């Protein structure tokens, strides 16, 4: 029987070998639900297959929760909430710190499982687990610092402003970051003192199960953190239809986000929505062009472009356009594509065939509208969902790819006539997640910080994600934040206690 990482580590005595394709050290584990601390599978439950996107092989069978399972999870979440919220903050912090340590111990194994179910290069899979450990460790510290404040009146009365955990949370995480997304769903609620039921993506379930298992092994009660799977719309309707759930947290596409936000609103549940983006990158001629090319070309193809904060629309000042374009294409053509388990691979397959079909459709439509395909554009091979790193240029703004999140390995390079036009194009879309700008001009940096409509703006740096800073969007990219103190406060409600 294939087991989850904590058991495998013992079995293998901590020895590991970096295997090439087909020579994995780690068996893909048996999959199950985690309800009230119990591992549940079989027993007549329906199930679905999990596929390795690099090989298209079936690697696992995932049980779906029945309606009874979900009711049981809800009842346990109610109980788990009362138990966990009463656990002293320093004890909660110690448990979450231990969970971070367990994740670090298991990072090699969980990272390998993640790569096998999602496709990204092994170092990135392991990096995701390391980020998840750092996030829960940061949250462990924050949960000790959730102070309220006291207003003391001269005549003797006072008001206490108190923060309380909102209650049981339902979290829905997508497949592009199978570990980080799940940790974002469970970390904030657990630090705040909430219980949480998470549904990782059915396409990448084992990473999420491993993260939840680490929480349980560290001492989080079985009712306080649970993991379910099923038909996504059935599970979300069931959980959000229950008055027990007091908060929704979702990462995924804008249409699904809008639908879930409506379901939450029917019961006035609070919500954090991390939805799609279409990251503009403003490249000004006063920037260090070679440096921009080095970091942003890597960024465009990270995780095969399946990143909500992917840099996608490159808006380049006209006088440096040709130099930038040529440098970008030559770098894109050097990106090594292959099975994420192999050494030296920079970009793995796309995570599923839907994404592959979609990117091909968007590239073809952009060409029909007059966009130039400078590199790539083709599927690689016919086994595994591999696609060439692709570069389009001079794409008109009525092309679909200029309006719809591509979520694949394609960068769009368009020449722009200066600062005003670049800001206007950056703000043109209803999305506002991440935006990027490269310039040495201090006054321009201030203007961009004030005028660019985005939840996150990276100026002269390529990353918008650190555990201690809020991560989230505006407009159609959603509302609320994860990470940072904001990610914990988002799971709390305020009570003002007036005393005479």
Chain residues in the site for ligand NAD (CB under 6 A): 172, 174-176, 201, 232-233, 236, 251-253, 256, 260, 274-276, 308, 354, 405, 407
CB of 264 to ligand NAD, least distance (A): 11
Residue in the shown chain whose Cβ atom is closest to ligand NAD: 253
CB of 221 to ligand NAD, least distance (A): 25
Contact 130, 458 (CB under 8 A): no
Contact 347, 115 (CB under 8 A): no
Question: With respect to ligand NAD, which residue has the nearer C-beta, 41 or 253?
Answer: 253
Contact 169, 250 (CB under 8 A): no
Question: With respect to ligand NAD, which residue has the nearer C-beta, 93 or 308?
Answer: 308
Calculate helix-pair angle for 289-301, 318-332, nearest 10 degrees.
50
What are the phi and psi torsion angles at 194 (to 5°)?
Answer: -90, 160
Q: Is 491 a catalytic residue?
A: no
Contact 50, 41 (CB under 8 A): no
Question: With respect to ligand NAD, which residue has the nearer C-beta, 174 or 415?
Answer: 174
Question: With respect to ligand NAD, which residue has the nearer C-beta, 193 or 230?
Answer: 230
CB of 237 to ligand NAD, least distance (A): 7
Classify 449 as helix, strand or coil.
Answer: helix
Of 131, 130, 99, 128, the residue nearest 114 (C-alpha): 128
Classify 414 as helix, strand or coil.
Answer: strand
Question: With respect to ligand NAD, which residue has the nearer C-beta, 222 or 348?
Answer: 348
CB of 85 to ligand NAD, least distance (A): 26
CB of 99 to ligand NAD, least distance (A): 23
Retrieve residue 498's tokens: 């007036």
**Residue tagged active-site, from 112, 142, 202, 274:** 274
CB of 230 to ligand NAD, least distance (A): 10
The size of the chain, in residues, is 500
Q: Is 194 a catalytic residue?
A: no
Of 345, 317, 415, 360, the residue nearest 122 (C-alpha): 345
Of 295, 277, 317, the residue nearest 414 (C-alpha): 317
Contact 390, 373 (CB under 8 A): yes
**Which H or E run includes 49?**
strand 47-51
Name the CA radius of gyration of the chain, rounded: 23
**Residue tagged active-site, from 194, 308, 405, 482:** 308
Question: With respect to ligand NAD, which residue has the nearer C-beta, 307 or 423?
Answer: 307
Which residues are known to be catalytic? 274, 308
């Amino acid at each position: 029987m294939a087991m989850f990482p904590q058991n495998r580590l013992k079995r293998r005595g901590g020895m590991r070998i970096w295997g090439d394709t087909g020579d994995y050290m780690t068996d893909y584990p048996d999959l199950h639900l985690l309800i009230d601390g119990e591992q549940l599978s079989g027993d007549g439950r329906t199930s679905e297959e999990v596929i390795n996107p690099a090989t298209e092989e079936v690697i696992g069978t995932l049980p779906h929760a029945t309606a009874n399972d979900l009711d049981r999870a809800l009842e346990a979440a109610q109980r788990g909430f009362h138990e966990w919220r009463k656990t002293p903050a320093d004890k909660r912090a110690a448990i979450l710190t231990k969970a971070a340590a367990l994740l670090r111990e298991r990072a090699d194994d969980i990272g390998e499982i993640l790569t096998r179910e999602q496709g990204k290069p092994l170092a990135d899979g392991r990096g995701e687990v390391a980020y998840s450990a750092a996030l829960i460790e940061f949250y462990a510290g924050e949960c000790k610092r959730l102070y309220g404040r006291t207003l003391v009146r001269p005549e003797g009365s006072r008001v206490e402003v108190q923060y309380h955990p909102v209650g049981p949370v339902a979290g829905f995480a997508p497949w592009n970051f199978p570990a980080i997304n799940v940790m974002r769903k469970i970390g904030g609620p657990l630090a705040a003192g909430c219980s949480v039921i998470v549904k990782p993506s059915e396409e990448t379930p084992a990473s999420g199960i491993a993260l939840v298992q680490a929480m349980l092994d560290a001492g989080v009660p079985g009712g306080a953190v649970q993991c379910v799977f099923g038909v996504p719309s059935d599970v979300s309707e069931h959980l959000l239809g229950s008055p027990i759930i007091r908060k929704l947290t979702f990462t995924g596409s804008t249409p699904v986000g809008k639908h879930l936000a409506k379901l939450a609103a029917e019961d006035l549940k609070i919500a954090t929505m991390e939805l799609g983006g279409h990251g503009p990158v403003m490249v000004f001629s006063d920037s260090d062009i070679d440096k921009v090319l080095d970091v942003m070309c890597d960024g465009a193809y990270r995780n095969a472009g399946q990143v909500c904060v992917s840099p996608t629309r490159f808006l380049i000042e006209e006088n440096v356009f040709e130099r930038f374009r040529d440098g970008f294409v030559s770098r894109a053509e050097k990106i090594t594509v292959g099975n994420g388990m192999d050494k030296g691979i920079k970009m793995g397959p796309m995570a599923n065939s839907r994404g592959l079909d979609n990117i091909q459709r968007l590239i073809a439509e952009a060409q029909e509208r007059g966009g130039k395909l400078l590199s790539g554009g083709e599927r690689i091979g016919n086994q595994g969902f591999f696609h060439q790193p692709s570069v389009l240029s001079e794409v008109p703004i009525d092309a679909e790819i200029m309006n719809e999140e591509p979520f694949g390995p394609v960068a769009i390079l368009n020449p722009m006539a200066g600062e005003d036009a670049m800001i206007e194009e950056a703000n043109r879309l209803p999305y506002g997640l991440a935006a990027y700008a490269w310039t040495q001009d201090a006054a321009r940096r201030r203007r961009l910080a004030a005028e660019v409509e985005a939840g996150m703006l990276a100026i002269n740096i390529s990353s918008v994600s650190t555990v201690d800073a809020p991560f989230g969007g505006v407009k159609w990219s959603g509302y609320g934040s994860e990470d940072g103190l904001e990610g914990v406060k988002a799971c709390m409600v305020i009570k003002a206690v007036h005393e005479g």
